């Protein structure tokens, strides 16, 4: 497997003056690759473009980015591809250059060895003490400022659970440390609305668009923690692992239900397309 990084389409290193390093001034995508192909690539690029637009970072065209991604994952191994776009190098200080020259960084990592039981039996989910700050201007995009998630993982590492549940400062559910959260309540598939903070995950988008095929009605709204406790089923998702059912929430056993299983099968079928 090729593990090198491309910087602006060529093997190289990042300038220490890059604003992505200095300020987290940029966005990124973490993508699943198999047989040299990125799953849900258009969805990843949609979010990348939205993030760059909202941060006023110029972005290369899709053909250029797709070509650079293909150069990294052309050997066909199952892998995780990471794409980072920063505002590039500028003089010292917060003020960006008047005509920024963004940096594109693309690399590949080995596929994570998640236990099969996470998919079949589910995972344990714990509500963390850390609260996510609210900033609607950054809500939804996958920006590089991830210190909150780092601290959340530090907190989670002190427990025996596999994923942490994060609330915002208003007390509403946002999602996991590296996932979106879903609740099945009767015929409704609930997920937190991403208006104040959080990330609009690619797999989240896939599930919201696809769940109607199974007779589920998607709903995005503010969810209090009690809504998760009252739900029939819970699961978390991201574009790498897909769906993990939640078998335990804050020490309380949960049932892994039929809707979650059917959604897992729907994803498997779509992955075979």
Structure tokens belonging to residue 135: 């900033």
Residue-wise burial string across 226-261, b where 16 or more C-beta atoms lie within 10 A, e elsewhere: ebbeebebbbbbbbbbbbbbbbbbeeeebebeebbe
Q: What angle do CA 133, 137, 138 make, to 5 degrees?
A: 60
Its CATH class, for the domain covering 117-271, is alpha beta
pLDDT bucket at 178, cuts 50 / 70 / 90: very high
Tell whether the model's pLDDT for residue 92 goes beyond 80: yes
Tens of pLDDT, residue by residue over 29-42, are 999 998 888 999 99
DSSP class of residue 189 equals: E
pLDDT bucket at 75, cuts 50 / 70 / 90: low
pLDDT at residue 12 in the model: 86
- CA–CA separation, 143 vs 47, rounded Å? 10
* pLDDT > 90 fraction of the chain, expressed in percent and rounded: 88
* pLDDT > 70 fraction of the chain, expressed in percent and rounded: 97
For residues 85-97, average pLDDT: 93
Task: Specify the domain boundaries for CATH 3.20.10.10 within the chain.
Answer: 117-271
Query: Cα-flanking dihedrals φ and ψ of residue 226, to 5°?
Result: -60, -30
pLDDT at residue 272 in the model: 67
pTM over 0.85: yes
pLDDT at residue 78 in the model: 87
Tell whether the model's pLDDT for residue 2 goes beyond 60: no
Q: Do 179 and 163 meet the contact criterion of CB atoms below 8 Å apart?
A: yes
Residue 44 CA, chain-centre distance (Å), reads 10
Q: Do 269 and 242 meet the contact criterion of CB atoms below 8 Å apart?
A: no
Tell whether the model's pLDDT for residue 1 goes beyond 50: no
For residues 135-161, average pLDDT: 97
For residues 189-209, average pLDDT: 97
Q: Is 6 helix (H, G, I), strand (E, B) or coil?
A: strand
Task: Specify the domain boundaries for CATH 3.30.470.10 within the chain.
Answer: 6-110
Going 27 to 32 to 37 to 40, the CA torsion angle's sign is negative
- Residue carrying the six token digits 């709903």: 219
Q: Mean pLDDT, the chain, as a whole number?
A: 94
Query: Cα-flanking dihedrals φ and ψ of residue 10, to 5°?
Result: -135, 150
For residues 150-177, average pLDDT: 97
The yes/no answer on whether domain 6-110 falls in CATH 3.30.470.10 is yes
Tell whether the model's pLDDT for residue 152 goes beyond 50: yes
Which of 4-13, 124-133, 193-202 comes out lowest in average pLDDT?
4-13
pLDDT at residue 76 in the model: 67
Those residues whose C-beta lies under 8 Å from the C-beta of residue 142, and which sit 6 or more positions away, are 27, 28, 29, 47, 48, 51, 199
pLDDT bucket at 55, cuts 50 / 70 / 90: very high
For residues 147-152, average pLDDT: 98
Tens of pLDDT, residue by residue over 221-273, are 999 999 999 999 999 999 999 999 999 999 999 999 999 999 999 999 887 66
For residues 100-128, average pLDDT: 96
């Amino acid at each position: 497997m090729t593990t090198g990084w491309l910087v602006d389409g060529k093997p190289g290193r990042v300038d220490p003056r890059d604003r992505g390093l200095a300020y987290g001034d940029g966005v990124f995508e973490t993508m699943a690759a198999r047989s040299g192909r990125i799953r849900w690539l258009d969805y990843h690029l949609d979010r990348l473009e939205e993030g760059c637009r909202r941060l006023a970072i110029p972005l290369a065209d899709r053909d250029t980015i797709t070509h650079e991604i293909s150069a990294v994952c052309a050997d066909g191994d199952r892998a995780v591809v990471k794409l980072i776009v920063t505002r590039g190098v500028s003089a010292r200080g917060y003020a960006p250059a008047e005509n920024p020259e963004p940096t594109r960084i693309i690399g590949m990592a080995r596929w994570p060895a998640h236990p099969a039981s996470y998919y079949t039996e589910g995972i344990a989910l714990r509500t963390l003490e850390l609260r996510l700050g609210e900033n609607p201007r950054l809500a939804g995009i996958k920006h590089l400022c991830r210190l909150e998630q780092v601290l959340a993982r530090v907190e989670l590492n002190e427990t025996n659970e596999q994923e942490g549940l994060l609330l915002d400062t208003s007390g509403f559910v946002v999602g996991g440390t590296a996932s979106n959260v879903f609740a099945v309540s009767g015929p409704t598939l609930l997920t937190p609305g991403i208006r104040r903070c959080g990330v609009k995950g690619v797999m989240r988008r896939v599930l919201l668009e696809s769940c109607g095929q199974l007779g589920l009605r998607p709903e995005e709204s503010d969810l209090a923690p009690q809504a998760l406790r009252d739900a029939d089923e819970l699961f978390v998702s991201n574009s790498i692992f897909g769906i993990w059912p939640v078998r335990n929430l804050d020490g309380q056993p949960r049932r892994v239900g039929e809707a979650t299983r059917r959604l897992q099968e729907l994803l498997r079928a779509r992955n075979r397309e």
